[in-house]
Amino acid sequence: MSSVANDLGESPCWDPDARRLYWIDAWRSEVHALDPATRETSCTALAPALAGLPIGSIARHADGGLVSGVKGGFYHLDLERRAARLIAAVETDRPATNRLNDGKCDRAGRFWCASVNTDHRTPSGSLWRLEQGKAPVRMEDGLTVGNGIAWSPDDRRLYLADTLTATVWQYEFDIASGALANRRLFLSTAHIRGFVDGATVDADGCYWAALFRGGAVAQFDPDGKLMRHVRLPVSNPTMCAFGGPGLDVLYVTSASRFLDAAQLRDQPLAGRLFAIEGLGAHGIAEPRFGA
Residue 197 a catalytic site member: yes
Catalytic residue among 25, 106, 197, 202: 197
CB atoms inside a 10 Å sphere around CB 134: 10
Burial of 135 (0-12, 13-18, 19+ CB in 10 A): exposed
Say if CB 99 and CB 86 are below 8 A apart.
no
Report how far apart, in Å, the C-alpha atoms of 25 and of each of 7, 29, 105, 158, 265 are.
6, 6, 19, 26, 21
Which of these, 89, 78, 12, 5, lies nearest to 46 by C-alpha position? Answer: 78
CA distance 137 to 119: 24
Residue 75 pairs with which residues in a beta bridge? 68, 86
Residues noted as catalytic: 197
